[in-house]
Amino acid sequence: MASPAKAFGEAPWKDSELLECAMVVPETTDTATFTFRAPSGAWFDYKPGQFITLDLPVPGGNVQRTYTISSSPSRPLSISVTIKAQPGSTGGRWMLDHLKPGMQIKAYGPSGIFHNQCQTGKKYLFISAGSGITPVMSMTTWAWDSGEMPDIVFVHAARTPSDLIFRQRLEGMADRVPGLQLHFTVEQQDPFQSWHGYRGRLNQIMLGIMASDYLEREVYCCGPEPFMQAVRDMLVALGYDMENYHQESFGAPVRTEAEAPVLDDVVPDESVSAEIVFAASGITAKCNETDTVLAVARANGLNIPSGCTFGLCGTCKIKKNSGEVHMVHNGGISDEDIEDGYILACCSHPMGAISVEV
Amino acid sequence: MLNTAEILSQIAARPKNFSLSHDLYCDPGVYQTDLEEIWYKEWIFAIPTCDIPKTGNHATLQVGDYPIVIVRGGDGVIRAFHNVCRHRGQRLCPKQNGSSPKLVCPYHQWTYDLDGKLLFARDMGADFDPSKFSLKPVHVRTNGGLVYICLADNPPEFDRFGGFLDDYVSVSDVTNSKVAFSSTIIEQGNWKLVIENNRECYHCGGSHPSLCRSYSDNPLMTVMEGPNAASPEILEHWARCDAAGIPSRFVNQDDMQWRFARVPLLNNAESFTMSTKSAVNKLMGRMPWKDAGSLMLYHFPSSWNHFLPDHAIVFRLLPISPTQTEVTSKWLVHKDAVEGTDYDLQKLTEVWINTNDEDRRVVEENQKGILSPAYEPGPYSPHQEEGVIHFVDWYCRKIQDRLAPRPAMAAE
Ligand code: FES
Ligand code: FES
Ligand SMILES: [Fe+2]
């Protein structure tokens, strides 16, 4: 028997040592996983969910780019990042086009506060979009490798089924343990391929079906900011305790607690008073931000036709004349209608004084 | 009311190249058979795709007893469904055209996704399984920017026709057009009389003064033998179109169920306008000349069409009763053409609004006469009414095949 090709050292890798690209594996169109090793044989010590900064020699001068690590520290012999070339990207594009096995690059880290060594007995809800899947993939692999698979509901949103990164790897794990439940939603189908998962933007109803016990789960969310914003709005509207919510933007990973962006989401507050003018009926009603327009209308003897009462069916669509509402809908209204000033009364909260055409 | 055997015997007794019997045009039993054997089994032209350009746009139509809704999904795909709520059967979308992010039943607000899945039904209990109550799909084909539907479980072959739609109609790029005007009229006449009237121009000189400014009533302009045999004007036109890469030559189904051909208008007329000049500044698709004539397409039982360089008109007929037919015409123009700047709506539409109304009157008088006990079938003109003969033969053969299928021949 030949001896192992390489002996691994005692000490963990330090970022004073260059990383050597060992392997490039295509994942989906325009997405690939780059695996690095330390030439000295050092191993990698980090927390699942953390990121690493790569110094990339793009033409015109080096750029530093941070990428969340898609491998897991439970497999410490190498470290991987999975890159999707976002439109207009320079770093990602350069890696996909030029970074080949054998090349060495400078790297810093790993660091970051978005990490989780999933504990058995606890329940998690991972929500990601696009290449935001990488840190939760790392956490999931860690959980799998620990041998005590905790309870994870894994929700991932992609553009089409063929854009689902790590689909096979995740399915391979989920096929073998009950603790990992996968739920994918796509915006569009691939031609000539049937699709049995969810379709459309992630919404509260999907979330409820995917993980009916979401209120009890610790949420880890990663994706572009508008996606995470929509997830936060949904959770807030559903009464989720945001103390248990963690997020990472794949555009701007966070190094320290101090760097973490302050999330100033609109959260209707019961103690803040608001006012709704029902213009056509000549009624002005005082209420709180936490009341829905529909509830206030009813309480004042006005009837706005409604069906689902949670922003899906669109029956309660009305025109807003002035003021701001906070609306978390579930697809019952089109972006065009919102632009034209329409709201769904059942899931709109008045922020201050508003006037509607009822 | 005729039964199957009586219908078959009247068809069998028909003198060759004579119009149909009183009953075949008027009888409720025949009407029911027409629905069941033709309208519920054949491909039917429904709408141009540009009628529902955006996600959530939908259009409805009524084929016999079947209300249908056609909707464009979030993925851009056009689907058709039975327009019937799976709760207690309410007609789901009541309007001819509408737009909404979901299909919501107006009765109890059962809410369906644009792909027909039931998303939500209030208070149906824990055992309720919404996946069992999706909208029932209807077969759809879209080619060349036109949407055809079929109610049969196993629709007849469509690919050959669909291929020609792609080749011939795509020249006009109907996908990138818009509906400039739409009109729906009810004609008090059997659907077959409406088609018969459309298939000949024997009546044009007497009935259609505005159409005859641009459209030749010479029967040789519409009756063509094949890709290499036609009147000299047409052959010349085809040669010019060939050179420009515009599919134009005569193609048809063996039984004449459909036909494509591009023919010149009279004296280099450009369009169906009173002035015979183009009605729209922006030409459609990749039409190189204003006088490219009209691509004429008909498809039994539901449609005839004209695709001109500057606009297109798609016609759809649907039977309403033994003696009533709905005719919907849509005028399509380039999607960027601006009303008032690139075209004047009145100039664009007047000729065919007149012509439709003239045809309506002709058909209604025709029906009135046929309702008389004194009516007896008369002979079609062999020079002028070959198109009518094609239709009536097609119709009789279809009914015969479906009511009394001929025994299959053993292969030899
Ligand atoms: S009632 Fe269904 S969206 Fe408001
Ligand atoms: S009939 Fe449609 S919801 Fe009741
Ligand atoms: Fe006519």
Q: What is the CATH class of A124-259?
A: alpha beta
> Where do the DSSP E strands lie in B42-165?
44-48, 57-63, 66-72, 78-82, 97-99, 103-104, 111-112, 118-120, 137-143, 146-150
Closest ligand 2 atom to Cα of B86: 2
> In this structure, are residues A64 and A55 in contact, taking their beta carbons and an 8 Å threshold?
yes
pLDDT for A5 equals 54
| B88 CA to centre of ligand 2 in angstroms | 5
pLDDT of residue A268: 83
Where are the alpha helices (H) located in B244-385, listed in sequence order?
345-371
Torsion region of B169: left, alpha or beta (phi above 0 gives left; psi -120 to 50 gives alpha): alpha
* CA nearest to A190 within chain B: B75
Q: Whose CA is nearest to atom 3 of ligand 2?
A: B108
Q: Which residues pair with A180 in a beta bridge?
A: A152
Name the residue with tokens 């969340």: A68
- Model pLDDT, residue A200: 87
Q: Is B328 an 8 Å CB contact of chain A?
A: no
Per-residue pLDDT, averaged over A185-202, amounts to 90
Query: Where are the domain boundaries for CATH 2.40.30.10 in chain A?
Result: 4-111
CATH topology (fold) of A4-111? Elongation Factor Tu (Ef-tu); domain 3 (2.40.30)
B94–chain A nearest CA distance, Å = 15
Query: Does the CB atom of residue A312 touch ligand 1 within 6 A?
Result: yes
Give the integer Cα–Cα distance in Å for A91 and A65. Answer: 7
What the block records as the tokens of B60 is 């409805």
B chain contacts of residue A345, beta-carbon cutoff 8 Å = none
Check B104 against A189: CB less than 8 A apart. Answer: no
The ligand 1 atom nearest the CA atom of A309: 1
Average pLDDT over residues A228-248: 92
Q: Which CATH class is domain A273-356?
A: alpha beta
- The closest ligand to the CA of A294 turns out to be 1
CB-CB contact of B361 with B188 (8 Å): no
Closest-CA residue, ligand 2 atom 4, reads B108
Supply the pTM of this predicted model: 0.81
**Which ligand minimizes its atom distance to the CA of A298?**
1
Which SS3 state, helix, strand or coil, does residue B316 take?
strand
Q: Which helix (H) or strand (E) holds A171?
A: helix A167-174
Q: Helix B191-198 and helix B345-371: axis angle, to 10°?
A: 120
Q: Is the pLDDT of residue A231 over 90?
A: yes
Q: How many CB atoms sit inside 10 A of residue A75's CB?
A: 14
Q: What confidence score (pLDDT) does residue A6 get?
A: 59
Ligand 1 atom with the shortest distance to the CA of A308: 2
Average pLDDT for residues A48-70, to the nearest whole number? Answer: 91
Considering chain A, tell me which residue range(s) the CATH 3.40.50.80 domain(s) occupy: 124-259
What is the reported pLDDT for B223? Answer: 78
| A307 with B108: Cβ contact below 8 A | yes
Q: What is the Cβ-side half-sphere exposure of residue A45, based on CA atoms within 13 angstroms?
A: 9
pLDDT of residue A263: 74
Quote the CA–CA distance of A57 and A69 in Å, as a whole number. 20
Beta strand pairing status for A273-278 and A348-356? parallel
Residue range A319-332: mean pLDDT, rounded: 93
CB distance from B128 to chain A under 8 Å?
no
Q: What is the DSSP annotation of A127-160? A: EEEGGGHHHHHHHHHHHHHTTS--EEEEEEEESS
Q: Which pLDDT score, from 0 to 100, does residue A155 have? A: 97
**Where does CATH 3.10.20.30 sit in chain A?**
273-356
Centroid of ligand 3 to alpha carbon of B364 (angstroms): 12
- The verdict on ipTM greater than 0.95 is no
Element (H, E) at A189: none
B386-403 vs B191-198: helix crossing angle, rounded to 10? 140
pLDDT at B221: 83
Task: Please determine, for residue A3, whether its predicted confidence score (pLDDT) is greater than 80.
Answer: no
Ligand 2 neighbour B90 (Cβ under 6 A): yes
Write out the two tokens for B238.
């085809």
Q: Tell me which residues of chain B, numbers 85 to 104, contact chain A at a CB-CB cutoff of 8 Å.
A: 99-102, 104
Nearest-angstrom CA–CA distance, A57 and B355 = 72
Q: Do B115 and A199 touch (CB under 8 A)?
A: yes
pLDDT digits (tens, 9 = 90+) for A91-149: 899 999 999 999 999 999 898 888 888 777 789 999 999 999 999 999 999 999 988 87
Give distance in angstroms: CA of A117 to centre of ligand 2: 49
Nearest to B283 by CA among B339, B336, B345, B334: B334
DSSP string covering B41-77? TS-EEEEEGGGS-STTEEEEEEETTEEEEEEE-TTS-
Give the pLDDT band (50/70/90) at residue A1.
very low
Nearest Cα to Cα of residue B39 among B298, B317, B297: B317
Identify the DSSP state of A9: -
Distance B191 CA to ligand 3 centre (A): 14
Which residue from B55, B111, B115 is facing A313, i.e. has the nearest CB? B111
Interface A–B counts its CB contacts (< 8 A) at 52
Shortest distance between the Cα of A205 and any Cα of chain B, in A, equals 9
- List the single residue in B with minimal CA-CA distance to A188: B75
Q: What is the pLDDT of residue B408?
A: 61
A251-308 residue pLDDT tens:
777 777 777 777 777 888 888 899 999 999 999 999 999 999 999 999 999 989 998 8
Q: Cα-flanking dihedrals φ and ψ of residue B20, to 5°? A: -80, 170
The answer to whether the CB atoms of A313 and B55 lie below 8 A apart is no
Cβ of residue A56 lying under 6 Å from some atom of ligand 1? no
Chain A: residue nearest B118 by CA? A313
Tokens 């009765």 sit at which residue? B107
Q: Count the neighbouring beta carbons within 10 Å of the beta carbon of residue B188.
A: 16
Calpha distance B190→B301 (Å, rounded) = 12
Task: Give the H/E segment covering residue A246.
Answer: strand A245-249
Asked if residue A281 has its Cβ within 6 Å of ligand 1, the reply is no
The pLDDT score that the predictor gives to residue B113 is 94
Which pLDDT band, with edges at 50, 70 and 90, does A191 fall under?
A: confident
**CA gap B207, B190 in Å, rounded:** 19
Backbone angles phi, psi at B206, to 5 degrees: -85, -20
The pair of structure tokens assigned to A354 is 């508003």
Q: Which residue of B has its CA nearest to A206?
A: B119
Burial class (CB in 10 A: 0-12, 13-18, 19+), A259: exposed
Asked whether the beta carbons of residue A200 and residue B113 sit closer than 8 angstroms, the reply is: yes
Most ligand 1 atoms within 8 A of CB, residue of A293, A315, A338, A342 to mutate: A315
Which residue of chain B is at minimal alpha-carbon distance from A160? B75
Is pLDDT of A162 > 80? yes
User: Nearest CA to CA, how far is B101 from chain A (Å)?
Assistant: 6
Ligand 2 near B105 CB (within 6 A) = yes
Average pLDDT over residues A37-65: 91
Residue B410: the pLDDT is 58
Neighbours of ion ligand 3 (CB under 5 A): B 359
Within 13 A of A63's CA, how many CA atoms are on the CB side?
13
Q: Where are the alpha helices (DSSP H) in B244-382?
A: 345-371
Per-residue pLDDT in tens (0 to 9) along chain B, 412 residues: 999 999 999 999 999 999 999 999 999 999 999 999 999 999 999 999 999 999 999 999 999 999 999 999 988 999 999 999 999 999 999 999 999 999 999 999 999 999 999 999 999 998 999 999 999 999 999 999 999 999 999 999 999 999 999 999 999 999 999 999 999 999 999 999 999 999 999 999 999 999 999 999 988 888 788 888 889 999 999 999 999 999 999 999 999 999 999 999 999 999 999 999 999 999 999 999 999 999 999 999 999 999 999 999 999 999 999 999 999 999 999 999 999 999 999 999 999 999 999 999 999 999 999 999 999 999 999 999 999 999 999 999 999 999 987 666 655 5
CB contact under 8 A, B113 and A199: yes
Which of A193, A308, A327, A333 has the most B C-beta neighbours within 10 Å, making it the best mutation to test the interface with B?
A308
Tell me if A160 CB under 6 Å of ligand 1.
no
What is the predicted pLDDT for the residue at B407? Answer: 65
Query: Ligand 2 center to residue B56 CA distance, Å?
Result: 20
* Distance (Å) from CA B294 to ligand 3 centroid: 16
